[in-house]
A = this chain, B = another copy of it.
Amino acid sequence: MFQDKSNPSTSLEQLGEFQLIKHLTKNFKIHHTSTVKSVGDDAAVLDLSNGKTVITTDLLVEGVHFDLAYMPLKHLGYKAVMVNLSDVYSMNALAKQITVSIAVSNRFSLEALEELYSGIQLACEHHEVDLVGGDTTSSTKGLLISITALGQADEAKITYRSGAKPNDLLVVTGDVGASYMGLQVLEREKQVFLVNPQSQPDLTNYDYIIERQLKPEARKDIVELLEILEVKPTAMIDISDGLSSEILHLCEESEVGCNLFEEKIPLDPQMMQTCEEFEINSTTVALSGGEDYELLMTIDQKDYDKIKGNPNLTVIGYMSEPNEKAHLITRANQKIALTAQGWKAF
């Protein structure tokens, strides 16, 4: 679980910047004919003439967004790509290209960066994405990863946050809150490790929730599923900051209200069990946990038959008139105003 410090170590000073980029990206394959020229010139050249292009970017900072004490570098590379692809999928587009820039302090060896890039490469292969550029530089402290992702879709398919209408169904993919509980377990084990470095954590009862935290999977499959089901959501967003915060974004951008039913929110049994163990309310975690990288969408009621019974899609509420605002309807049938308590960058 914790970083192995005994690995062979090659300092980054031994390589120049150009050699380093070449070295780190040499095994990456190109999947798309839209990638005309990849890494190696002042800029990459792309043919994006087919449909519309979506572009999104995210910055991950050590000590703010991740802790290398329990985040293996390969997982970090994978997750950093997922965070960006999730934004592309939330536009109902398919990801095609990414650029990856990193700033690293001299405490990182070449082998450490190879680990990071092996995770990036795995993500590119699983999601058929081309790495087309980036920058590699030194930092005065820690590791920072900046990724920009490009995707493509027909204009008619692109799904914004702003299209939800009153009475649309609110639908979520997968389950929520597990990633946050995985983080709680990892934080606890880190504290144990700091007190007793000889301790070996037994995480068998937490495998699912830890995987949700360390190796989330952006929902490319949902974009493909919606295509097969012939459903175009009226609005869509990905869940990075927590269900509650994302619902409020949809309400604000679409100018609608929302009723969310507590009993409908999909929770994983392991997540619920861990909530009990930590004595945290599982609904609070589901609403505010964040880092689920599931998709939250609104669907016209006429499309209900198309999604009914699909195990990937759970109806958790419906949109209402704007003056009704956003509410949670509890199991006790109480109506509570939703507030954004998701992860905040500051």
Query: Which of A's residues lie within 8 Å of B, judged by CB?
Result: 12-13, 15-17, 20, 36-37, 40-59, 61-65, 87-88, 90-91, 93, 97, 99, 101-103, 106, 132-142, 144, 146, 148-151, 155, 158, 160-162, 236-238, 253, 344-346
As for how many copies of this chain the complex holds, the number is 2
Question: B41 contacts A45, CB within 8 Å?
Answer: no
Using known A-B contacts A37-B160, A43-B88, A161-B42, determine if residue A58 contacts B101 with beta carbons closer than 8 Å. Answer: yes
Shortest CB-to-CB span from A33 to chain B, Å, is: 12
Question: B136 contacts A45, CB within 8 Å?
Answer: no
Contact among B16, B36, B88, B99 for A346, CB-based, below 8 A: B16
A33 vs B193: C-alpha distance when bound (angstroms): 55
Contacts of A237 in B (CB 8 A): 42
Contacts of A137 in B (CB 8 A): 59, 61, 64-65, 345-346
Contact among B15, B20, B150, B253 for A55, CB-based, below 8 A: B150
Question: B146 contacts A59, CB within 8 Å?
Answer: yes
Using known A-B contacts A37-B160, A344-B16, determine if residue A43 contacts B151 with beta carbons closer than 8 Å. Answer: yes
A37 vs B238: C-alpha distance when bound (angstroms): 18
Contact among B41, B57, B134, B139 for A101, CB-based, below 8 A: B57
A153, closest chain B residue (CB): B45
Shortest CB-to-CB span from A262 to chain B, Å, is: 25
Contacts of A148 in B (CB 8 A): 55, 57, 99, 148
Shortest CB-to-CB span from A55 to chain B, Å, is: 5
Contacts of A140 in B (CB 8 A): 61-64, 141-142
Contact among B36, B44, B56, B344 for A56, CB-based, below 8 A: B44
A344 vs B136: C-alpha distance when bound (angstroms): 11
Question: B53 contacts A47, CB within 8 Å?
Answer: yes
Contact among B43, B56, B91 for A87, CB-based, below 8 A: B43
Question: B54 contacts A44, CB within 8 Å?
Answer: yes
Question: B146 contacts A41, CB within 8 Å?
Answer: no
Shortest CB-to-CB span from A150 to chain B, Å, is: 7
Question: B57 contacts A146, CB within 8 Å?
Answer: yes
Question: A87 contacts B54, CB within 8 Å?
Answer: no
A152, closest chain B residue (CB): B48
Contact among B55, B64, B236 for A132, CB-based, below 8 A: B55
Question: B48 contacts A53, CB within 8 Å?
Answer: yes
Question: A158 contacts B45, CB within 8 Å?
Answer: yes
Question: A345 contacts B138, CB within 8 Å?
Answer: yes
Jot down 25 A-B pairs with beta carbons below 8 A, ordered by A.
A16-B346, A17-B345, A41-B160, A42-B56, A42-B161, A42-B237, A42-B238, A43-B54, A43-B149, A43-B151, A46-B52, A55-B97, A55-B99, A57-B99, A57-B146, A59-B101, A59-B135, A59-B144, A61-B137, A64-B103, A64-B137, A99-B148, A103-B144, A137-B346, A138-B346
Contacts of A136 in B (CB 8 A): 345
A238 vs B41: C-alpha distance when bound (angstroms): 10
Question: B41 contacts A46, CB within 8 Å?
Answer: no
Contacts of A142 in B (CB 8 A): 140-141
Contacts of A50 in B (CB 8 A): 49
A93 vs B42: C-alpha distance when bound (angstroms): 11
A34, closest chain B residue (CB): B53
